[in-house]
């Protein structure tokens, strides 16, 4: 989770910055893969967040910072 918060997960956009040669598209849809996309914007992520909302009544996050609530506010 710390890697997500710091946005250093090796998503395809971060790999491309390191001279990786490959397709930058998300494996689940046709959009470019970024941390924001992978955890929040991808249709599969949205489906998972909707399921969590229905099962546990937890509102889906709107950005990476809100993904953690207040427990990383001091970091």
pLDDT tens sequence across 23-72 = 999 999 999 999 999 999 999 999 999 999 999 998 888 888 888 765 65
pLDDT of 70: 59
DSSP state letter for 42: S
pLDDT at 73 exceeding the cut of 70: no
Inform me whether the pLDDT recorded for 21 exceeds 60. yes
Can you give the pTM of this predicted structure? Answer: 0.79
Residues in the chain: 75
CA 75 – CA 72 distance, rounded (Å): 5
Res 28: pLDDT: 94
């Amino acid at each position: 989770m710390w890697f997500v918060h710091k946005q250093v997960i090796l998503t395809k956009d971060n790999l491309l910055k390191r001279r990786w040669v490959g397709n930058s598209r998300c494996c689940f849809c046709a959009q470019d893969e970024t941390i924001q996309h992978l955890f929040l914007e991808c249709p599969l992520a949205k489906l998972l967040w909707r399921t969590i909302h229905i099962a546990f009544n937890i509102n889906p996050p709107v950005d990476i910072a809100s993904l953690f609530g207040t427990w990383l506010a001091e970091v």
